[in-house]
Each structure stands twice: as C-alpha cells, then as structure tokens.
A and B are shown apart, each in its own frame.
Chain A
C-alpha cells in the first residue's frame, strides 16, 4: 500500500516542482532579472585590523577611551547607547570617581519626576544609570532628523555582518556618487536629503558625514585625530559596547579548551586501555 501511494505522491511533488522550474526558466529567459544599482555598486566592508580580532584578541583600553570621546563629542548628539551604564566605563580604565564625574557632567540628563509637582523633569546621572538617550522618544528623534531615526549604537557591531569593519568603512566611506553609476542607472541619483555611501545597504544614507576633518576631536593622549583614526577608535569602542565580555570569553575559552584537550586525551587513552583485550 505504502509502496503504491508513495511513488504516486512522489511523482506529484516532483511534477509540481518541475512545472515551477519550467515556468521559472521561461520567465528568466523572457524577462531576465534587471541588475540594480545597489547590487552593482554596494561595497562590502574594508579589511580593517582591530586589536580584538582573533581568539587571542584584547581591547586596547586607550583606544576605547578615545572611542568614547568620539562617541561623546560627535555621535551622542543623535545616537543613543541605551544598553550601556556609566558604571561599565570602569572597564575602560576609568576610576569610580572619574565615572561619577562623567555621569554627572553628561550633556543629556536622566529623565525623572519633579518631586513636588510630579511633572516630567531630568536629574544629573549617577554611575548606576544607563546612558540617557538624546531624544525623549522615537517621534522626537525623527522630528529632529528629517524623519530618519538614528539607530541606537549599543549593539551596532553585532547587528551588522562584519560589524566593526562595517562601522569603520561606513564612517570613512562617504564620497561623491560615481559618474559610472549615474550613467548605468540614470534614475539612481542620490536624493537631496540623503548622502551617497557605498557601504550602506541601499547606498543612500540619511546621516550626513559625521567625521568631517582632522582635529574634530582633540585626543588627550596625543594621538593624531585623523578621520581614519577617529573612525577606528569609535568602531573599537562600539565593538566593546556590543561585547563587553569579549576578553573574559577569550580567556575562559582558552582555559576550557586546554582542559578539554587533556580530558579528551585521557578519555581516549582510557578507551584504548579498556578495549585492549577486545577485537572490534
């Protein structure tokens, strides 16, 4: 019974699939898929080397501090970092006192309630607070940015393929739209309110280039604040905000793997030992 119905059902599915295949092939030949500007001119992130790459990678605390400075002075005007607390900055090498000051002096204050009237108010942040968002809500954020919503950056380097390299490439990738692109795709001219960036998924990003020139931020440790340097530093910082436990993870991983290699080697020897008298 099964051996009769089975082949019939099988032929049914195979038939419908080949039918779909035939029509798919016909429409492919009649109307071949049109190449799109995004497909032709989108670029994958550049190859950027970071100190935290690879299984033995570590963060460079000085770099993370510089990255925080770039975030604070350039990005935090529009982008929130809502999953990071001020107290997390002790990971960057700051003392508890420095963190307390950072929190209290942060431009945006933490939302709270006026204790007398109950009206919404703000207060100075303390170390245990999360970093306050520059905008009260999504509507306010869009209103201030021409309808576009600047995304939260806490997880940006995990939310994009090849995240840290992507952020760096994006920040350094603003350029004039190539003439070749306009020639091949006359409709692809970047609209007035957007900016061409081949590293962005659909090539036109609402954000104006945030890193405009050298010296936009002045680093306390004397590093030259070129656009490339600032981009690298803030990318590393954002990698840390997305993966604060990376170093912990690598260290534990190496210890665990060494242990497991020994344990498995012993287990293998015990297995050989137990089976020595048994042909198998």
Chain B
C-alpha cells in the first residue's frame, strides 16, 4: 500500500520529535525534583540555629585594669581582651609598619578613641595553638605581647607577628562597644 507508506514516511520524523517531548519533559521534571532535594540535605550541615545564636558574645571589660588582659570564649575559641598601658601603645606605634611581616598599625587594629583596648583571637596564626601572655605571670615573649610555646612565634604589644613561623597577626574579630564597659564581639 504505497499511499500508507508515504504517509508513514512523512509523519515519521516530526512524529518522533513530538513523541520525545513528553519523555524529555518527564525526565526534566524528575531531574529538577532530584536537584531540589539535594539542597536541604546539604544545608543541614550548615551551623544550626543554636550554634548561630552563640555566634555573638558580650564581654564586660569594666574590671580589666591597664596592663591586664582576660581570656574568654568567642565561638568556642579563646579571645584575648587586653587593656594596653600608654607605654605599650607607644612601643607599638614606634615600630615602622613596612618592617612588619603583616603590616598593620595599632590604630588599624583597634577602634577609634579606644586604642587602649586590644581585642584579638587567642589562636596562633601558624598552626592554631593558644599563645601565652594573657594571664598574670605568663611569658609574653621578646616583644612584650604574646608568645606561642609551640613553635616560638612572638607577637608584640599590638599582637602583631614579629618573630617565628606565624604568617599573620592575631586575628581581630568583628566587635563593637555597646557602652564604655561592654563590648559585643561577633
């Protein structure tokens, strides 16, 4: 039946394309669904609400005398809050910035008008040990700031790296003074 064959040949290619469309649509929908499911499965590993709630800490600095520092916890890591003496501020300012491995002035690492408050993480930037120097009687190292006993990194009075393997100054976290005696970190 030649006529039937002709008709079959004509509708052949277009027919296949039309027929494929619904299959492609179905598979695409399934694919979109599968991709969407991945999102919550991956997101659940992000910090949970209770961890995020502890992402901010308030520190009362009223009891810290000049020349004193305290160790506290911020995001489950040590935080050093130091009340610098005028001598310590002067010795930090006297250092030529270009000679520093990680060039920063004391002013850049503190808040305007509150240069005497040095707030840094207590985590050595080399491999993560807790440096000495925050508590009374601890070794403050050659430069009068902090000293890391693990591999000898020495930080100055502005907690900047001066000697030893650490590449960067002690990290200054995000913080703000909510009053003269209370600092909100994070």
Decide: A128 near B26, CB < 8 A? Known: A263-B33, A273-B19: no
Cβ A262 vs Cβ B29 within 8 A: yes
- How many Cβ-Cβ contacts under 8 Å join chain A to chain B? 36
Cβ A266 vs Cβ B54 within 8 A: no
In the bound assembly, the distance between CA atoms of A274 and B22 in angstroms comes to: 10
Choose from B29, B54, B58 the contact partner of A263 (Cβ within 8 Å): B29
Report the count of interface residues on A (CB-CB < 8 A). 15
Choose from B26, B49, B50, B53 the contact partner of A266 (Cβ within 8 Å): B26
Cβ A269 vs Cβ B50 within 8 A: no
A108: Cβ under 8 A from any B Cβ? no
Cβ A266 vs Cβ B33 within 8 A: no
**In the complex, which residue of chain B has the Cβ closest to the Cβ of A252?**
B40
Cβ B26 vs Cβ A267 within 8 A: yes
Cβ B29 vs Cβ A128 within 8 A: no
Cβ A263 vs Cβ B50 within 8 A: no
Q: How far is the CB of A103 from chain B (nearest CB, A)?
A: 11
B30: Cβ under 8 A from any A Cβ? yes
- Residues of A near B23 (CB, < 8 A) are 270, 273-274
**In the complex, which residue of chain A has the Cβ closest to the Cβ of B19?**
A273
Choose from B25, B53, B58 the contact partner of A85 (Cβ within 8 Å): B53
How many B residues are at the interface, by size bracket? 10 to 19
Of residues 111 through 158 on chain A, the ones whose CB sits less than 8 Å from some CB of chain B are 126-128
Choose from A87, A259, A266 the contact partner of B25 (Cβ within 8 Å): A266
Residues 157-170 of chain B, each 1 if its beta carbon lies under 8 Å from chain A, else 0: 00000000000000
Cβ B22 vs Cβ A273 within 8 A: yes
- Residues of B near A266 (CB, < 8 A) are 22, 25-26, 29
**In the complex, which residue of chain A has the Cβ closest to the Cβ of B51?**
A128
- Residues of B near A269 (CB, < 8 A) are 22, 26
Decide: A128 near B53, CB < 8 A? Known: A263-B30, A273-B19: yes
Cβ B33 vs Cβ A87 within 8 A: no
- Residues of A near B58 (CB, < 8 A) are 126
In the bound assembly, the distance between CA atoms of A267 and B23 in angstroms comes to: 8
Cβ A259 vs Cβ B33 within 8 A: yes
In the bound assembly, the distance between CA atoms of A87 and B49 in angstroms comes to: 9
Cβ A85 vs Cβ B50 within 8 A: yes
- Residues of B near A259 (CB, < 8 A) are 29, 33, 36
Of residues 242 through 270 on chain A, the ones whose CB sits less than 8 Å from some CB of chain B are 259-260, 262-263, 266-267, 269-270
**In the complex, which residue of chain B has the Cβ closest to the Cβ of A269?**
B22
Cβ B53 vs Cβ A127 within 8 A: yes
- Residues of A near B19 (CB, < 8 A) are 273
Q: How far is the CB of A81 from chain B (nearest CB, A)?
A: 16
- Residues of A near B26 (CB, < 8 A) are 263, 266-267, 269-270
Choose from B25, B49, B54 the contact partner of A270 (Cβ within 8 Å): B25
In the bound assembly, the distance between CA atoms of A269 and B49 in angstroms comes to: 43
In the bound assembly, the distance between CA atoms of A158 and B159 in angstroms comes to: 54
- Residues of B near A274 (CB, < 8 A) are 23
**In the complex, which residue of chain A has the Cβ closest to the Cβ of B49?**
A87
In the bound assembly, the distance between CA atoms of A103 and B52 in angstroms comes to: 18
**In the complex, which residue of chain B has the Cβ closest to the Cβ of A262?**
B29
In the bound assembly, the distance between CA atoms of A65 and B53 in angstroms comes to: 22
Identify which of A259, A269, A270 gathers the most chain B CB atoms within 10 Å of its CB: A270
Q: How far is the CB of B41 from chain A (nearest CB, A)?
A: 14
Please name 17 further chain A to chain B contacts, defined as beta carbons within 8 Å, in addition to the given A128-B50, A270-B22, sorted by A numbering: A85-B53, A87-B49, A259-B29, A260-B33, A262-B29, A263-B29, A263-B30, A263-B33, A266-B29, A267-B29, A269-B22, A269-B26, A270-B23, A270-B25, A270-B27, A273-B22, A274-B23
Instruction: Please report B residues at the A interface, Cβ cutoff 8 Å.
Output: 19, 22-23, 25-27, 29-30, 33, 36, 49-50, 53-54, 58
15 contacts between A and B (CB under 8 A): A85-B53, A87-B53, A126-B58, A127-B53, A128-B50, A128-B54, A259-B29, A262-B29, A263-B30, A266-B25, A266-B26, A266-B29, A267-B29, A273-B22, A274-B23
Instruction: Please report A residues at the B interface, Cβ cutoff 8 Å.
Output: 85, 87, 126-128, 259-260, 262-263, 266-267, 269-270, 273-274
Closest 5 CB pairs of A and B: A270-B26, A128-B53, A266-B26, A263-B29, A270-B23
